[in-house]
Structure 1
Amino acid sequence: MKVRKLNADGEVAFGRGRLDYLADSPEAVGQNVMTRLKLKTGEWFTDVSDGTPYADSILGEHKRLLYDVAIKSRILGTPGVTQIVQYESTLDPDSRKLKVSVTLDTEYGTTTVKGALG
């Protein structure tokens, strides 16, 4: 698996040749997990059925169990993920963000992914 790195702002990295890529590593899988979680259903024009179901399962008055199941399912569907070792989500009412922290086993080793969704 080879992916182009994203910088701290979430933009594609350029200008450093091979150093701008992650290859066959837990970090590559972790980056793909966050990218998949941030893609909203209907947002990708070539496949409007792909994405995280924010409107159906996460936003609004949804129960924690419902959005945790949707997020875990999306994570487990990411190529290279073999299992979720530890999962934690926290809804921050002030920022209206769902913060997720996940430790994953991947084909290449273990990684931890943290981020805010929504």
Structure 2
Amino acid sequence: MTSVRFGLAIDQATNDLVLTSSGDLATVSDAEAVGQHVRQRLSTFVGEWFLDTTAGVPWLDQILGKAYDPALAQSVVKAEILNTDGVTEITSFSVSFDKATRGLIIRSVDVGTMFDEEVSI
């Protein structure tokens, strides 16, 4: 397993790169980088990234493209989280399905990391 130790900071609200007050690219490291990597993986649809069409969550094929199955949805999302480099365990997990928008809402997820720190996703 390769470890996620460093990355560029991504603003959770806008998904844009974060700049420091001096105009440099902000970075994240260790547990914070692992958490950010989990968020990125959960935001990627399988087949979306041309360099690795197997990367991402099968949102349309397994979760949102058919009748909603809560057990399947949770299983698929948890598997994606646990397959993220640096994640050692899921310590809390809360999702719900919004019938009006037909969307899976990830309410809260906390994961343990290889850095012996817990991160909220």
State the TM-score bracket (shorter-chain normalisation).
0.7 to 0.9
Residue 99 of structure 1 deviates from its aligned partner by 1.5
Query: What secondary structure sits across from 2:84 in the alignment?
Result: coil
Paired with 1:104 and 1:112, the residues of 2 have a C-alpha distance of 7
Q: How many percent identity over aligned positions?
A: 32
What is the deviation of 1:96? 3.1
Q: CA RMSD in A?
A: 1.5
Whole-Å separation in 1 of the counterparts to 2:113 and 2:44: 21
Gaps of 5+ in 1: 114-118
Q: Tell me what 2:78 maps to.
A: 72
Q: C-alpha distance in 1, partners of 2:48/2:7?
A: 21
Cα deviation, 1:33-84, whole Å, max 9, x if unaligned, reads 0100111011001111221011221113131101111000000011110001
Distance across 1 between alignment mates of 2:9 and 2:102: 27
2:24 paired residue number: 17
Q: Matched residues in 2 for 1:99 and 1:55: separation?
A: 14
Higher strand share: 1
- Given the two structures, how large is their TM-score scaled by the length of structure 2? 0.83
Instruction: Say yes or no: does 1:98 pair with 2:98.
Output: no
SS at match of 2:56: coil
Alignment counterpart, residue 51 of structure 1, candidates 44, 47, 56: 56
TM-score (norm 1): 0.85
Flag structure 2 segments of 5+ consecutive residues without an equivalent.
none
Alignment match of 1:81 (pick from 75, 78, 87): 87
| Number of residue pairs aligned between Structure 1 and Structure 2 | 111
